[in-house]
Structure 1
Amino acid sequence: MITTRYEGSLLVVRQPDHGDQTGLFAAAWGNEDVPALAEHQRAATLAARHHDDGWAVWERRPSLDPATRQPTQFHKVGPIEHIPAYRAGVDRAAHGDPWAGLLVSMHAAGLYNGRYGTFRLPELADQSLTAHEQALVAEFLAELDQLQRDLLGAVRGHPTPAPAFDDPVVRQHYLLLQVWDRLSLQFAFRHGADGTIAPLPGAGGGRGVLTCRSVGAFALALDPYPFATENAVFPVAGQLVPDRPYLDPEDFLATLASAPALQLDCRVQRTGTAG
């Protein structure tokens, strides 16, 4: 659940809705400047759409931040709550498609290993875990590592003793999933603010940077522009609820249930062009 202040209210974007937008990015990805995926495109799009579905379990009864009495921000939810929910999402993805499951499981692992050493949310800079939480994370990462080897072996048709991230195709797909995920967060969490997203995987294993420049509310100029359609619009669903303390999760959920649906039309364009 992604919550931000917007127009005097609290904007709530559920994680599966964030996933839907991420999947739209994946489906539209690729042009003469930024190469489209050469293989497993459907499965990668499926992974993008469902990469955060595990959060839906947590969102059934979200914990409240004691300081705000509002739902705990996604990057503050601890492993004790997060891992069981995310495990359910990984299992669902793995049973649906092995390649999608591989990418979703790697996304889950990346939340605890700095996205395989490529990126860490600034909001996590001061995060610290107890010894018990560290043990839970270590167990989860070991479990995911074995699952990834099994899923990649199923796709390749032979055992793969090396970590999945060592496979160049897997690595490209995983890094693209992170780009799509972070681009959606640039809208849902940052409302179209300036930013950079890296690494942006390119042809031949190269890595670049996707530069995001705000050109209005929920509107970004992208360099390089990565989509097949110019001046594209990628909607994300949300709801507006009162920006107030809530008595308990049930109070928040009842308020959310009666809040009207809101569609945020997130716009992208090439740098240097009019919207």
Structure 2
Amino acid sequence: MIIRPRSGKLLLVTQPDHAHLAAEILSLWRADDLPRHPRRPELIFAVREHDNGWREPDAAPRVRPGGGAPMPFFEAPLELRTEIWYRGVDRFSQEHPWASLLILEHALRLHRGERQDPDWQEFFSTLEERRRVLLEAAVETLGGSGAELSEDISRDYRFLELADLLSLAVCSGWQGEYECAGYEIEAQEDRLLLSPFPLAGTTRFRLRCREIDDRSYRDAVDLGVSLASARWQDREIRLEPSS
């Protein structure tokens, strides 16, 4: 769950809804030769489903240990993250192996800072074995070598990385300047300014979210009751060219 404090409330966005926004942005992307990319449909699918492993935990979110605020996604413990990424990679591995490889790449890159942590070694070794199996299957169906397809994964991954950052910035209400994949990004809460601009023109998107009181919650049940009574809403998001 992405949690954004706002005027005495907490704006909550599920990881799958964040990923849906990322895919909506990428589906209108005109730059980087993406409209003619041979794997464009699979790329957009990967972006839309890159956080699919969060479906289950976001349906029943936790509070921080001992009660208090809802637990944001970046505080999820190792065992939960492991479960999320294994499930996220495996869910579409038969129907969409290329998307699964990109989701797996995302998991590895997100957690690269933990490479030397002994507690994380099983996570990395398990995902690397899954990657080997998926790559072998991709070589059989797509041709080429494992090394060539690995390079294609790295090239394709930049689209996932960029779309993920753009969506995360507005879902989280960031303010500041960022750079990713050759783009300069200025985040202004619900508005993003980009240079160069990759869409046809200023574009509005809708972000699905809920608001609950910014208070201490006793446990997951207390939080769940508040969420059940919270009305879903669509928040307007704007992408504009930098002036």
Q: Which amino acid aligns with 1:149?
A: R
Task: Report the 3-state secondary structure (helix = DSSP H, G, I; strand = E; otherwise coil) of the residue aligned with 2:209.
Answer: strand
Aligned-residue sequence identity (percent) comes to 27
Matched residues, number? 240
Partner Cα distance (1:17, 1:270) in 2: 24
Question: What corresponds to 1:193 in structure 2?
Answer: 175
Distance 1:90 1:111, change over 3 A: same
Partner Cα distance (1:17, 1:178) in 2: 16
Q: Does 1:255 align with 2:226?
A: yes
- Runs of 5+ consecutive residues of structure 1 not aligned to the other structure: 115-127, 201-207
CA contact (8 A) 2:195 2:241 kept: yes
Question: What corresponds to 1:219 in structure 2?
Answer: 191
CA RMSD across the alignment: 2.4
Question: What corresponds to 2:10 in structure 1?
Answer: 10
Q: Does 1:180 align with 2:163?
A: yes
Equivalence map 1:1-275=2 (5 Å):
1-31=1-31, 34-36=32-34, 38-66=37-65, 69-114=68-113, 134-157=117-140, 160=145, 162=147, 167-189=150-172, 191=173, 193-198=175-180, 200=181, 208=182, 210-214=183-187, 217-227=189-199, 229-272=200-243
Shift of 1:247: 0.9
Shift of 1:252: 0.5
Partner Cα distance (1:163, 1:135) in 2: 31
- Runs of 5+ consecutive residues of structure 2 not aligned to the other structure: none
CA contact (8 A) 1:149 1:159 kept: no
Task: Report the 3-state secondary structure (helix = DSSP H, G, I; strand = E; otherwise coil) of the residue aligned with 1:3.
Answer: strand
Output one character per residue of 1:121-152: Cα deviation in whole Å (capped at 9) or x when no partner: xxxxxxx89x9xx4452222122222223223
CA contact (8 A) 2:30 2:198 kept: yes
Runs (4+) of structure 1 exceeding 6 A deviation are none
Partner Cα distance (2:133, 2:20) in 1: 27
Q: Which protein has greater RCO, CA pairs closer than 8 Å, 6+ apart?
A: 2
TM-score using structure 2 length: 0.89
